[in-house]
Structure 1
Amino acid sequence: MMAEYLLFATERYALPILAPLAQALHASGQSVSAWFADGAAGSQLPGVPNVDLRQALALRPRAVFSAANWVPPFIAGAKVQVFHGFNVQKRDSARGHFRVRGLFDLYCTQGPATTDPFRALAEREGHFAVAQTGWPKLDPLFREDGGASAALRAPAAGRPVILFGSTFTERLSAAPHLYDQIAADIARGERYWLLTLHPKCSEALFARYRALAGAHAAFIEPEQVMAAQRAADVLVSDTSSIVSEFLVQHKPVVTFRNRVPQPHMIDFDEATALPAMLDRALAPEPALMAEIRRYAETIHPYRDGCSSERVIAATEDFLAGELGVLKRKPFGAWTRGLQIRRELGYWGPAKR
């Protein structure tokens, strides 16, 4: 019998995370709908109908897959956290990646670096389960993409391809600081650039970077970012989750003033050093490549493009009771649920 599943997101950057999951559910013959709220409202995934809150309640989904920090607890089904990024240490763990709010039943973790802390939290708290599955967003990096990445690379005509991606966090963003150097490198034409910004960056910043598109550069929308990562030889970034995503491919990353620089990065502080950093990244030394491979194994050891299928299998195991019996959710989850109801303007009954 066909089951109903619901995808949930609050930002556009969640779409590349949920798209492979939707494809895997469709491939297994399941019915999939999406509820996109807040910054993701109005977005669309191919072949996935959009629903509003009341329609989501009426669906009574078997599971809700959330690529956001929260999920409405009063919608039916298992609440599954699939994450909206890697832990890149933008803030301390208690406020960031490992914050547990009592809203989720199952955390589908990306690799040992995420799994081990969440399993320790699950053992302590007892009200959620953990399964290491890999991250659906990265599936397209290791599967054929219908020529999307080749199409992005084609205008380079044999030149090295550099992807630039920046966080929206103002104190950490490289975008304002590196603009002049990137513009100068594009003007020289020795390398081909793919430019993208976090959807939350300012419109003024978007306008500046879009204007760089031409014979030596292209601007990439959020929905194209995974294909751009496949197409690029090197990433230039800052303290953004895209750094970890790119490194999983065993490709070098140049970071500008990373909050916690590490041996798998080529980190630098002065914008004028960008050309030299790019030269180094395009001819990486063996020690750097060894650090990149080591780091990739800790954050995401899967290179088969099947993380979405593992998420679905883990969810079914959870629903079958194979991941243990959970304790009741903490009081904080109840108060957070009330806050969500107030924010959404919904005071109807829970659909359990």
Structure 2
Amino acid sequence: MTHSPQRYLMYIAQNYSFAILRPLQQAILKQGGQVCWFFEGDGVDGRFLHENEQLLASVADVKAWQPDAVFVPGNVVPRCIPGIKVGVFHGFNAGKLNRRGREDHFEIRGCFDLYCTQGPDTTARFTQLAQQYGFFKVKQTGWPMLDPLFTEPESNPYCAVDDPRPTILMCSTFSRNLTCAPHLYETVKALVATGKWRWLVQFHPKMAAETVAQYKALQGPNLTFVETDNVIPVLQAADVMLCDTSSILLMFLLQGKPVVTFNNQHPLPHLLNVTTTNEVEPALSEALTYPADLMANIQHYCQQIHPYQDGCSSERVLAATNALLDNGLLELKSKPLNIVREFKMRKKLGYWGL
């Protein structure tokens, strides 16, 4: 079916969401659609917005523009934002439990009309939840953020063409219970001093400031501390990752590259997991040999979480969204009112209109 130019809103609350939604924006513009951005709260740095991207500064502006669909990489979006609501996720299911002891990735908050899932391992569960709740649809599309992962960048600022050393990328989540960064500081410091590997370090934006300062102090010819709104080139530049339970490790695995984890909550065969600092260096050395059994386990796992390597997930998300726009929400139940959550979101946005 041919579409009149549709209006799509990118609703974001974190800087990393730019990289999640920009491939989708590209697909929309290619099809002749219109895109605007909206920032929820003060967690987004407006300097990351490109000159050719349009920002709607208030909920009133959004309502005046009347988007047909809203893409959300976060967990929630208020009802006062017009358009069908599409959840596109801010990461993979890393098995993290929320305060209620439930898997956060599958927490249904009553905000979305459509979930665009990344692969079979999450699609099955979301399909089951869709049947249970009845107010949203599910379509397996792959994840827009990964589209550029499967294309060669024109130039990569994190690659050192004239440096033959293997490159280790260290990433870590901010959660105090899960983060490896404070525990591995002395180990990494000692390994950096040897100079046998080149290090890139990139942390979650909510990482404790003192931990960030510690690692920044290690910068020099052997280590680069990376602060960016787009981790894709960083992932592409490394040979092996050192991580914890952060979902970024799943993106790294999808390149067919090994990950060494420190005290991972789910130490499965596709990871080289260690539980003491003494094991870190031997595990990294082993990972750099790309062991055949480990690589086979990685390949099998990747088929479950994200089987697409064609760089076309954005087009699939857009097709699923347009199909819902065409067919409407008539066969879906009404979403729950969520009065308390709606009040909190409106308070955060400073919007009390209809």
- 1:133 is aligned, of 130, 133, 141, to 141
> Secondary structure of 1:308's match?
helix
The runs of 5 or more residues in structure 2 that have no matched partner are none
Matches within 5 A, 1:242-281: 242-281=248-287
Instruction: Assess if the C-alpha contact under 8 Å between 2:95 and 2:103 holds in 1.
Output: no
Give the counterpart letter for 2:183 in structure 1.
H
Deviation at 1:89, TM superposition (A): 1.0
> Secondary structure of 2:48's match?
coil
Q: CA separation in 1, counterparts of 2:280 and 2:15?
A: 29
Which is worse superposed, 69-78 or 160-169?
A: 69-78
Matches within 5 A, 1:38-187: 38=41, 39-46=43-50, 47-53=52-58, 54-91=60-97, 94-148=102-156, 151-154=157-160, 157-187=163-193
Change (3 A) 1:304 1:118: same
Change (3 A) 1:41 1:326: farther
Change (3 A) 1:135 1:235: same
Structure 1 residue 316 and structure 2 residue 322: aligned? yes
Instruction: Assess if the C-alpha contact under 8 Å between 2:96 and 2:105 holds in 1.
Output: no
- 1:301 is aligned, of 292, 299, 307, to 307
Deviation at 1:103, TM superposition (A): 0.7
Q: Could you tell me which residue of structure 2 aligns to residue 5 of structure 1?
A: 8
Deviation at 1:323, TM superposition (A): 8.5
Give the TM-score, by structure 1 length: 0.94
Q: Could you tell me which residue of structure 1 aligns to residue 40 of structure 2?
A: 37
Q: Could you tell me which residue of structure 2 aligns to residue 196 of structure 1?
A: 202
Give the counterpart letter for 1:342 in structure 2.
K
Structure 1 residue 343 and structure 2 residue 330: aligned? no
RMSD, aligned α-carbons: 1.7
Change (3 A) 1:324 1:163: farther
Q: Could you tell me which residue of structure 2 aligns to residue 26 of structure 1?
A: 29
Give the counterpart letter for 1:61 in structure 2.
P
> Secondary structure of 2:105's match?
coil
Q: Could you tell me which residue of structure 2 aligns to residue 219 of structure 1?
A: 225
Structure 1 residue 205 and structure 2 residue 211: aligned? yes
Instruction: Assess if the C-alpha contact under 8 Å between 2:96 and 2:103 holds in 1.
Output: no
Instruction: Assess if the C-alpha contact under 8 Å between 1:22 and 1:48 holds in 2.
Output: no
Change (3 A) 1:313 1:220: same
Of Structure 1 and Structure 2, the greater helix share is in 1
> Secondary structure of 1:193's match?
strand
Q: CA separation in 1, counterparts of 2:219 and 2:162?
A: 13
Instruction: Assess if the C-alpha contact under 8 Å between 2:15 and 2:48 holds in 1.
Output: no
Q: CA separation in 2, counterparts of 1:156 and 1:335?
A: 57
> Secondary structure of 2:106's match?
coil
Q: CA separation in 1, counterparts of 2:275 and 2:348?
A: 41
Instruction: Assess if the C-alpha contact under 8 Å between 1:156 and 1:216 holds in 2.
Output: no
> Secondary structure of 1:222's match?
coil
> Secondary structure of 1:168's match?
coil
Superimposed CA distance per residue, residues 148-200 of structure 1 (whole angstroms, 9 cap, x where no aligned partner):
2xx31126611111111000001110000111111221221111111111000
Deviation at 1:29, TM superposition (A): 2.3
Aligned length: 346
Instruction: Assess if the C-alpha contact under 8 Å between 1:72 and 1:340 holds in 2.
Output: yes
Instruction: Assess if the C-alpha contact under 8 Å between 2:179 and 2:245 holds in 1.
Output: yes
Give the counterpart letter for 1:42 in structure 2.
G
Give the counterpart letter for 1:19 in structure 2.
R
Q: CA separation in 2, counterparts of 1:69 and 1:59?
A: 23
Change (3 A) 1:105 1:233: same
Q: Could you tell me which residue of structure 1 aligns to residue 18 of structure 2?
A: 15
Instruction: Assess if the C-alpha contact under 8 Å between 2:48 and 2:229 holds in 1.
Output: no
Instruction: Assess if the C-alpha contact under 8 Å between 1:10 and 1:41 holds in 2.
Output: no
Identity of aligned residues (%): 45
Give the counterpart letter for 2:263 in structure 1.
R
Deviation at 1:322, TM superposition (A): 7.8
Deviation at 1:203, TM superposition (A): 1.6
Instruction: Assess if the C-alpha contact under 8 Å between 2:85 and 2:114 holds in 1.
Output: yes
